[in-house]
Every structure is written in C-alpha cells, then in structure tokens.
Amino acid sequence: GRLISVEYENGQFTEGGGGHFRLNMPLVTGYVSTLKLPIVAMNDGAPEYLIDGLRGNNTQLDRRPWDLLESERTVELSSMLTSYFVPLGADFTTVIDPEWPDAAAADKFDGFTVRELLADAGASDDFAKLVAAQAGGFTLEVSVLGLLPDFAYHFGDRNLYRVQGGNERIPRALAERLPQDRIHMGSRVVVIDQSGSDVVVTTADGREWTGDEVISTIPFTVLKDVDIRPALPDRARQVVDGMVWSDIVKVYLQTSKPTWLDSGVRGWPVAASDRPWERLIDITGNEPGGRGNAFFYLSGANATAYLAQPKETRARDLVNTFNADMSGMIEDVVEIGEFSWPDQPWIKAAFGDTPLDGGWMLDEMKKPVDRLHWAGDFTTFKSGWVEGAIEAGLRAARHIDPMAPAEHEVV
C-alpha cells in the first residue's frame, strides 16, 4: 500500500507512494538485493529556499539572507541539525534502531515538539524555518519521538536510490513468490472475531477466513469501521482513536529535460519554501529516457488548500505559481498528474503519528491483543517509511513464531 508507481508515456516512472530509499534502510535494501531489482541512483537535496520572501541556496552558505546565528551560516543544514541534536542524546544512527527509544529516551523526548527541541538547543527561529521548509511544513509542530527517525532518513544519509521501473516492483516481486490463490485484492474486512477457537475474518462480500492468528495492517483511519470482537481493550482503542493522521498530496510532472539542474539545484528537494507549493522533489537521477522527473510534496494545510481548488486546473496552477516564485525553473511540462492520499479509501490519509505525550501508544501497538497482531509503518516510530512497515511485519511474525528470521535475514 505504501508503494504506488505511476508510469509516464516514455517508460519513466513517478511515485505516488514512497519515493526513495537510503542506505540506512537495511530492510528495504535487503529486499531490493534479494529480489535482484535494478535501481536508479538519485541526488540528495541541494535546494533553493524561498522563506519569508527571501531566497537562498543550501550550497551558497555565504549568501543566506535570513537572520541566522553565525554558527549556522558556515555549515550545511544537515550538519548543523546534527550538532543541535547530538548533545541532547539524539544521534541519527541510534534513533533508527528498531529498539529505539528505550525508557530513558522516551521519557526525555515525549511531549516535546521539534520546534521546542530546537529552541532548547539554541537554534535560531530562521534556522527552524529552514528545517521546516526542507523536511515539510508540518515538521516543527509534531512530536519529537515521531520526527527523529524521519530526520535520520532525510539528513543522516546522502545515498539515495529508487527501483528502476517503479518502487511498486518490490511488493509485486514479493507477491510473485507466493501462491497466487493466497492473495485476494479488494476484499474489504468488516469483522475480526477472535471470540471462538479460531480467529474469523469476514469481508464485505460475505466470505470468511479462519486462522490461528491474524496480523492486521489496516490503517487506524479505516480500522475504526471494523467490528472487532471482543472489543479492543481501552488502551488499544485509545491508540486507534487518538493517532494523528496527516494529509499528503503529490503533484507529479515530467518535463522534456530536468531543467532545474541548469539552475544548480537538485535532489530531495530541489526547492523548499513556506509557499503553497511547499517542496519540489527531483527523482530523475540517472533514470534512462532523458526527461525530467519530479513532484511537488504538499502536506497538511497546503494539501487541504490544494484539494479545495478546481481539479481541472489546480496542478497547472501550482506549476505556474512555482515558476512565478522561482524564475521559471520548470520548463516544457510533458505530463502532469496528482496522487491524493486523503482520497484513498483504504487509508483516507497519508501517515499516522502519536500526539504529544503519546509515545506510549506505539509501545501499546507492539503488544498483541490476544491473537490479533498489529503491523504497518504507523505502528512504529518510522511512520510513513517502508522500512518501518517491514520492521513492524518482522515484529509481528516473531510474536507468532519466535524462530522467525533476524532483521538481516531477508526471505
């Protein structure tokens, strides 16, 4: 569900779901290697920023026009961010360990927003704005526990890749290894009943499936409408009802060539701002075909405002707004489209996060409810990432079979 690829007319692919992977994602990388999938190398971000009407480039440190501290002017964003977090006990290696956070880290960081953590570390307000522009407009106001792994992926490793022919090839290749009569698409679950000797799952078309145990990856936005028998315990129900879900819209486009490279900007992202277009992300890399391949990543209020506009013209209007702001960086659009996560009936949002003081929720989801086990990226601190989805699946598998493979053993 997290990997949804869209093919352009010339054989290039864009991504409606997960757009890239990094080498600090060993589970994803292990599957790509085991499945022998070809990959496309990509550039990391050297973005052009537009914040508070002021424009600057991440590679031209001496030309930054914002009110930054002197210490913030002489290094790139990722290094400065590291220097703020490491003294607080949050390095970009530890926070992506499956066992993070331990009790001490959870106690230290739970209840704090990213904005508060940066302020406590001594960062300037304008530095925080740069972070929000590059990592997403929602970044500053969310829980530190949920964002530290996100930062580790965005800022802790500069080696990016995606699967040639679309990232969706990963789940498709896995599916090909399974008996095809075991895979049933479009079968909406309406009842999960574990009150008898077997667990019985009923789908909307009236079919029943029985088993000893059940692993559910149903997003909580949809699980609320599933009849679970017996009812979930109070704390598990609090998680299902209390998780905060984000809206994301991707407006993808293909150009006759990657003209933004002529402007000296590239990667994840090409441009970052406090404007309605939010971020432009270049996923072209060394993908064959010669055309430019990029998408706008709109979150939160920007996604909501975009979806409220006339569907027939809003994608082109967004490109026009971007070009007015960024001196015509996009030229000769060949194809354009959009993928709206809030409109997907099987999730109705993009990714889930615990609210402030809600770190206990993800610990709660690590526990089975009798014979019902939880998985999915939103049941880890890596919400929104395929690495988190695989991590959660392995965790659920080991609940059922303690002899299941270790993290590094991809089967």
- 13-72: pLDDT as tens digits: 999 999 999 999 999 999 999 999 999 999 988 899 999 999 998 877 778 899 999 999
For residues 168-203, one letter each, b for 16 or more C-beta atoms within 10 angstroms of the residue's C-beta and e for the rest, the string is: bbbbebeeeeeeeeeeeeeeebeebbbeeeebbbbe
Work out the pLDDT band at 250, boundaries 50, 70, 90.
very high
pLDDT band at 118 (very low <50, low <70, confident <90, very high): very high
Is the pLDDT at 403 greater than 90, yes or no?
no
Which region among 51-65, 155-169, 305-319, 371-385 has the lowest average model confidence (pLDDT)?
51-65
Structure-derived torsion over alpha carbons of residues 296, 302, 308, 309, reported in degrees to the nearest 10: -50
SS3 202: strand
Contacts of 179 (CB under 8 A, 6+ apart): none
Q: Would you state the pLDDT for residue 242?
A: 93
Q: How far apart are CA 265 and CA 259, in angstroms?
A: 10
Contact in structure between 241 and 221 (CB atoms under 8 Å): no
C-alpha dihedral sign at 235, 236, 237, 238: positive
- Please report which confidence band the pLDDT of residue 406 belongs to, taking 50, 70 and 90 as the band edges: low
> What is the token pair recorded at 343?
């409109």
Check pLDDT > 60 for residue 410: no
CATH code of 5-44+159-167+248-343, in short, is 3.90.660.10
- The Cα 324–Cα 329 span in angstroms is 9
Cis peptide before 230 (omega within 30 of 0): yes
Can you give the pLDDT at residue 45? 84
Q: How far is CA 295 from CA 2, 14, 120, 168, 282, in A?
A: 17, 8, 34, 17, 7
CA 301 centroid distance within chain: 17
Tell me, yes or no, if the pTM score tops 0.85: yes
pLDDT at 405: 67
pLDDT of residue 218: 95
pLDDT of 334 reads 95
Average pLDDT over the chain, rounded to an integer? 91
Smallest Cα–Cα separation from 22: which of 133, 136, 132, 162?
Answer: 162
- In 3-state terms the chain splits into helix, strand, coil percentages (rounded to 5) of 35, 20, 45
The model's confidence at residue 409, banded by pLDDT at 50, 70 and 90, is low
Question: Hey, how many other C-beta atoms are within 10 angstroms of the C-beta on 42?
Answer: 24
Residue 10: the pLDDT is 87
Per-residue pLDDT of 272-304, as tens digits, reads: 999 999 999 999 999 998 999 999 999 989 999
Look at residue 407 and tell me whether its pLDDT is greater than 60: no
What value does the mean pLDDT take over residues 337-359? 91
405 upstream amide cis, omega within 30 of 0:
no
Tell me: domain 184-244+349-400, CATH 3.50.50.60, correct? Answer: yes
Query: Angle at Cα 54 formed by Cα 53 and Cα 60, nearest 5°?
Result: 155
Q: Reply yes or no on whether the pLDDT at 408 is more than 50.
A: no
Chain segment 225-237, per-residue pLDDT in tens: 999 999 999 999 9
Is residue 121 within 8 Å of 83, Cβ to Cβ? no
Compare 405 and 348 and report the one with higher pLDDT: 348
**Using CA of residue 287, residue 292, residue 295, residue 296, what is the dihedral sign?**
positive
What local confidence, expressed as pLDDT, does residue 107 receive?
Answer: 87
**Could you tell me what percent of the chain has a pLDDT over 90?**
72
Q: Is 360 exposed, middle or buried (0-12, 13-18, 19+ CB in 10 A)?
A: middle
